Amino acid sequence: DRPSGRRQHGCRRRRSLPPGRGSMSSKKKDEVELPPGIKDPYAELEIESNGGAAVDSKAIKKQYRDLARKYHPDKQHGGAEAAAAAEAKFLKVKAAYEFLTANDGAQ
């Protein structure tokens, strides 16, 4: 009854993504490097690193969420300069969080 070539119930055929895109990335989690411009990811997240002792992952996540909310460019009301400065800080906080979570909080 249905024409050939059409799929039932509107299902679409999945398209393959280019390498490095999607959930199957070419980089593994343990290959995450500290971005340039960030010396201490704990300092970017305003967390005391306790002299090399690992910080609880829940504390890292909470601090990241608080700072991300504070410095998100869409939440800034001080004009273009304030938004640009907040965006730069937001990107540093995001990179520090990604580094710490990829390396399980151990530096």
The pTM for the full model equals 0.62
Query: What does the pLDDT look like over 57-86, one tens digit per residue?
Result: 898 999 999 999 999 988 888 888 888 899
Q: What tokens appear for 6 in the block?
A: 């059409």
User: Which residues are CB-neighbours of 66 under 8 A, at least 6 positions away?
Assistant: none
pLDDT-derived band at 105 (thresholds 50, 70, 90) equals very low
Rounded-to-10 torsion of CA 31, 62, 50, 39: 50
* Side-chain half-sphere CA neighbours of 41 within 13 A: 26
Greater confidence (58 vs 50) lies with 58
**Sign of torsion over alpha carbons 47, 62, 52, 94:** negative
